[in-house]
């Protein structure tokens, strides 16, 4: 009995990490979209379907479908055949994501990897970095500035 409980508890602890990873994954796409929409609006005043598709490397139709989900989630607004906008929540998520992304990418640079690697790896890593780890990265960064 004691053993069974201990086994159960251990498995539960262990499985928590995997559950977190799966949760991260579903949040990830939304984060990437809103960040990119924010970038496009900053750069050129508006975000269009085609630009998103190109930058994400997916088909147009995929973007349309995903945007529908994001609209349902209250992150994005749009009208047919028109540009895409962010809601308040969307902007917040975009900004949080961008800040996080910046820390992770700069951290990798400070660690000594190439700019290309930092750009690519940070894209995958950022969504799995907890607040604690982000703080540790920022601390490292402040002690080991890039050049």
Partner DNA sequence: TACAAAGTTTAGCATAGGCTAACTTATATG
Partner DNA sequence: CATATAAGTTAGCCTATGCTAAACTTTGTA
Q: Which residues bind a second copy (CB under 8 A)?
A: 8, 11-12, 14-21, 24-25, 28, 32, 51, 54-58, 108, 111-114, 117, 119-121, 123-125, 127-130, 132-133, 136-137, 139-140
Tell which residue, 53, 51, 54, 29, has the closest CA to residue 42. Answer: 51
Indicate the residue among 33 and 93 with the shorter CB distance to a second copy: 33
Query: Partners of 77 in the beta sheet?
Result: 85
User: How far is residue 5's CA from residue 2's CA, in Å, rounded to a whole number?
Assistant: 5
120 binds DNA (CB under 7 A): no
List own/partner pairs for 79-87 with CB under 8 A and 24 or more apart.
83/46, 83/47, 83/48, 84/37, 84/46, 84/47, 84/48, 84/49, 84/52, 85/37, 85/41, 85/47, 86/34, 86/37, 86/38, 86/41
Q: Which does 82 bind (CB under 5 to 8 A by kind): DNA, a second copy, none?
A: DNA
> Measured from the CB of residue 33, what is the shortest distance to DNA in angstroms?
9
Residue 68: CB minimum distance to DNA, A: 7
Residue 72 beta carbon to DNA: minimum distance, rounded to whole angstroms: 8
Q: How far is the CB of 17 from DNA (least distance, A)?
A: 12
Of the candidate residues 10, 60, 130, 144, the single one contacting DNA (CB under 7 A) = 60
CA-angle at 95, arms to 19 and 114, nearest 5°: 80
Beta bridge partners of 84: 47, 78
Interface residues with DNA (CB under 7 A) are 22, 25-26, 28-29, 48-50, 56-62, 64-69, 78-83
């Amino acid at each position: 009995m004691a053993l069974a409980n201990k086994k159960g508890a251990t498995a539960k602890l262990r499985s928590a990490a995997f559950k977190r990873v799966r949760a991260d994954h579903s949040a990830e796409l939304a984060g990437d979209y809103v960040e990119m929409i924010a970038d496009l609006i900053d750069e050129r005043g508006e975000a269009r379907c085609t630009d998103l598709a190109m930058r994400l490397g997916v088909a147009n139709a995929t973007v349309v479908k995903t945007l529908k989900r994001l609209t349902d989630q209250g992150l994005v607004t749009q009208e047919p055949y028109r540009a895409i906008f962010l809601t308040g929540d969307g902007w917040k998520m975009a900004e949080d994501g961008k800040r996080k992304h910046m820390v992770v990418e700069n951290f990798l640079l400070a660690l000594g990897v190439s700019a290309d690697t930092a750009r690519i790896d940070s894209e995958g890593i950022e969504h799995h970095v907890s607040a604690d780890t982000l703080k540790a990265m920022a601390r490292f960064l402040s002690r080991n500035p890039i050049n």
